[in-house]
A and B are shown apart, each in its own frame.
Chain A
């Protein structure tokens, strides 16, 4: 049991490290297609973290929606616009150094804050269980209004996407 615990701990840290490495790949690779593949790997690793946090349904949604949907969209967009990015185009602007310095300050400040704050972690909360059934009941009960709102938002956004991306009608010649 002790050994199993240790193994789980090590596994979670290994997944976290892998996600960070893939995330660095996402922001540094020159070839955007490689970036998209790294993003897919990082998102799958995140699904693993969700499973470790006992949110199995969320892990499934993550795989379906992110890895199945968003990555496909991104890959399509890259392929449709690729032939000018395939050359040796500079991929970063000149703000790299200020961004790194500013983000280092941001990260150190927030890490100090995280370590100082007394988080209200309780035994009862750690023992609380949830399931897909509980999620569905909450979605149809307490959160039914945001649920309906988000369905309207999805519909509007998808219609808007089609309208923006479709070709313009050919203009009438005078």
Chain B
């Protein structure tokens, strides 16, 4: 029915997560960091749905968790981008390493 084994999906989502984490670690632009975080959330969602499909007798559970994760990721993106805009208006920068007011 489903053509590929669970392990391949897990490895795929692990690679996607690692790429997103790399982006979140090395990007200087705050919007780039937010985009990378969306990638990581997406990878975890793939895992949730794969597990619910392959191992659970009621696949609704995993899918509902994935729905909640999507909703929370959307709010996180909205709030994060609002903070970026406010920061840009006040300090005229969107580079994460130029915002070091609280760093010594």
Interface set of A (CB-CB < 8 Å, partner B): 5-6, 8-9, 12-13, 16, 19-20, 23-24, 26-27, 32, 35-36, 39, 42-43, 46, 49-50, 52-55, 57-58, 61-62, 65-66, 69-70, 73-74, 76-78, 80-81, 84-85, 89-93, 95-96, 99-100, 103, 106-107, 110-111, 114-115, 119-122, 124-130, 134-135, 137-139, 143, 146, 150, 153-154, 157-158, 160-162, 164-165, 167
Contacts and interface: CB of A to CB of B under 8 A. Distances in A.
Given A46-B42, A119-B6, A53 B49 contact: yes
A87 to B, nearest CB: 12
A153 B88 CA distance: 26
Contacts of B63: 55, 57-58, 130, 135
Given A126-B1, A160-B79, A81 B94 contact: yes
A19 to B, nearest CB: 7
Interface residues of B, number: 75
A157 B67 CA distance: 17
A120 B55 contact: yes
Interface of B: 1-4, 6-12, 14-16, 18-23, 25-29, 31-32, 34-36, 38-39, 42, 45-46, 49-50, 52-61, 63-64, 66-68, 70-75, 77-79, 81-86, 88-89, 92-97
B95 to A, nearest CB: 7
Contacts of B64: 135, 138-139, 143
